[in-house]
Structure 1
Amino acid sequence: MSTIESRETSAISGDAGLSLIELIIYILLSSLLLSAMAVVLVNSWSTQKDVASVTQATNRGQVIGSAIERAMRNALDFDVDDATGTELRVRTSLGGNLACQAFLLKDGDARFTTSSGALPTLASDWARWENGIAQYASTPFFVENGDVVTYTFDIETDSAPVRFSGEAAARSTATGVSSPCW
């Protein structure tokens, strides 16, 4: 065998495959890369879950606020339970079942009822509307100030609670007559 042939043979045999050390290094690098990608994926899923929870809470809170404001805009008479600040009853200028409306917000729960006549006396008989309702600090859910009602509540989410606050005034001429609603 000549010198040229032996150099070619040794060069080819050195490149013929991976050594064990090279294989271990490639596996370690691949594992690190896959681990980093898994962490990013898990964080993305967690963030997506939080965003979806906040979005749903925002939509639910806007529905509650809109219903309260609509009832108050059309109010002929209304009453806030001053002792607890959790209940709002409204006699509206709207017809049919929307003539009498009542809202109950308490920790963990929102209830709502409508009627063309007398509202149910017990709030526990009202339909459960939403869950996850929470009081903001010690602020009452409803506060009456003249012909204006201010509402404040939080809705719990997977991350931070979403706060809702607003006020609504009666646009209709108040009659001061709560009958037949309560």
Structure 2
Amino acid sequence: MMHAACKNDEGLSFVELIVSVLVSVIVIVAIATVLANSWQAQEQVTTVTQATNRGQLVSSTIERAMRNALFFEVTESGTVLRVRTSLSGDKKCQGFRITDAAAQFTWNSVTLTTSNTAWPSWQPGINAQGGTPYFVRTPEGSLSYTFKITTEAAPVAFSGDVAPRSVQETGSGGCW
């Protein structure tokens, strides 16, 4: 007597199990790769944003000092800018020093007379753009500045030209 076919075909065969595990692993690896790339891209965007914010702070502080400058001088190397402003109090005397890897800022007239290497550190990670000096006094009596902040993603470049709004005087006025 012939029996009807057994119902043993209802489970997964060994080959079907291996194929389903392999497909699952491929999908999980693809998702993990997308998540890792997204995380890395987010970190790069965050780094560039932070560098942009730091650079804008440096630029705006320099520009504010220069717009209110009564007298300013730039060292021959183009790394130091000293400004006597029309502002009162602590903002009257300001100094900026940028070297590879950091910017320094002081508004203390006593500090301005000392070696500028002793000025307080202000913003890290600032570098020159090629061989261009950080600060250049133009023949018209304005200031050009340029620097970049290097990040893992890409350097963020800053430059600007700013002219004093006040009539230029002579001498540091006791600032340095």
Any idea what the Cα deviations from partners look like across 1:43-84, whole Å, max 9, x if unmatched? 1111111100000000000000000000000000000002x1
Matches within 5 A, 1:6-85: 6-7=4-5, 10=6, 12-15=7-10, 17-82=11-76, 84-85=77-78
CA RMSD of aligned residues (A): 1.5
- What is the count of residue pairs matched by the alignment? 175
- Distance in structure 1 (CA, Å) of the matches to 2:39 and 2:173: 53
Q: Does 1:86 align with 2:79?
A: yes
The correspondence for 2:97, drawn from 79, 104, 107, is: 104
CA contact (8 A) 2:69 2:164 kept: yes
Secondary structure of the residue that 1:147 maps to in structure 2? Answer: coil
Any idea what the Cα deviations from partners look like across 1:1-47, whole Å, max 9, x if unmatched? 775xx14xx2x3211x1111000000000001111111111111111
Structure-1-length-normalised TM-score: 0.91
CA contact (8 A) 1:76 1:172 kept: yes
Which runs of at least 4 in structure 1 moved beyond 6 Å after TM superposition?
Answer: none
Aligned to 2:137: 144
Aligned to 1:130: 123
- Distance in structure 2 (CA, Å) of the matches to 1:78 and 1:98: 14
CA contact (8 A) 1:113 1:119 kept: yes
Q: Percent identity?
A: 48
CA contact (8 A) 2:113 2:175 kept: no
CA contact (8 A) 1:100 1:117 kept: no
Greater alpha carbon shift after TM alignment, 130-139 vs 112-121: 112-121
| Structure 1 unaligned blocks of 5 or more | none
Deviation at 1:115, TM superposition (A): 2.4
Deviation at 1:157, TM superposition (A): 0.8
Structure-2-length-normalised TM-score: 0.94
| Structure 2 unaligned blocks of 5 or more | none
Secondary structure of the residue that 1:137 maps to in structure 2? Answer: coil
Deviation at 1:121, TM superposition (A): 2.0
- Distance in structure 2 (CA, Å) of the matches to 1:70 and 1:121: 23
Deviation at 1:119, TM superposition (A): 1.9
